[in-house]
Amino acid sequence: MNKQQKQHNKLLSMANAGVVAALYTVLTLVLAPLSFGNIQFRASEALTLLPVFTPAAIPGLTLGCVLSNAAGVATGSNIAGWIDVIFGSAATLIAALLTRWLRRFQWKGIPVLAIWPPVILNALIVGGELAVVYQLPFWLCALEVGAGELGVCVFLGIPLVLALRKTKLFGSEETK
C-alpha cells in the first residue's frame, strides 16, 4: 500500500468515527428521557456493536458518549453529572475495545460474545454511578442498567449487525 492509499484509509477511518460519534450523540439526545437515569433504554447503545465491523467505531462511540453525557449534564437530563462523562465514557471505550476483540465469536452470523462487554461494563460502572447518585442498592441499579443495555443490544444491536452485514458496507474489515 502506497503513502496516498494509507492517507486515504486514515481519512476514511476518521470520517467513519465522526459519523458514529454523530449518530450516537443524536440518538442519545433525541431520546434523552429514555437515555439517562437508572432505568434507561439508550437506543444509541445499539451502535456499540459496530466495532464488530470496524475499529473506527471505537473512537466514534467513545466521543459520542462523551458528547452525549456532557450535553445531558448541560441540559439537566444527566443527573449523574460529570462523573458519568468520565466513567460512563470510559465504560464505553473499554466495552468497544472488548467488542472488537470478541467479534469473531459468532453463532449463525450473530456476534454472541460481542454483545456482553457493553452490557456488563455499563451495568457495573453506570450502575455504580447511579447507585451513588440515587442512593439505591448497587445491585438494583446494576440490574436496571444491565437489563436496558441487554435489551438494546439484543433487540436493536443484533438486527443492526445483521442488516449492515447484508449491505456489505464494511467489506472484509470484520475479519481483520
Please tell me the predicted confidence (pLDDT) of residue 174.
Answer: 53
Candidates 98, 155, 156, 149; CA nearest to 122 is 149
Please tell me the predicted confidence (pLDDT) of residue 137.
Answer: 97
List of residues 6+ apart from 72 with CB closer than 8 A: 28, 29, 32, 35, 36, 78, 84
Amino acid sitting at position 175: T
Please tell me the predicted confidence (pLDDT) of residue 33.
Answer: 87
Please tell me the predicted confidence (pLDDT) of residue 153.
Answer: 97
- CA-CA distance, 114 to 103, in Å (whole number)? 6
Q: What is the pLDDT along the chain (176 residues), one digit of tens a residue?
A: 788 888 888 999 999 999 999 999 999 999 988 999 878 899 999 999 999 999 999 999 999 999 999 999 999 999 899 999 999 999 999 999 999 999 999 998 899 999 999 999 999 999 999 999 999 999 999 999 999 999 999 999 999 999 999 887 776 555 45
Please tell me the predicted confidence (pLDDT) of residue 173.
Answer: 55
28-59: string of b/e by CB count within 10 Å (b at 16+)? Answer: bbeebeebbbbebbbbbbbbbbbbbbbbbbbb
Please tell me the predicted confidence (pLDDT) of residue 172.
Answer: 53
Please tell me the predicted confidence (pLDDT) of residue 108.
Answer: 87
pLDDT, tens digit, 9 for 90 and up, residues 80-91:
999 999 999 999
- CA-CA distance, 57 to 48, in Å (whole number)? 8
Contact (Cβ atoms closer than 8 angstroms) between residue 33 and residue 41: no
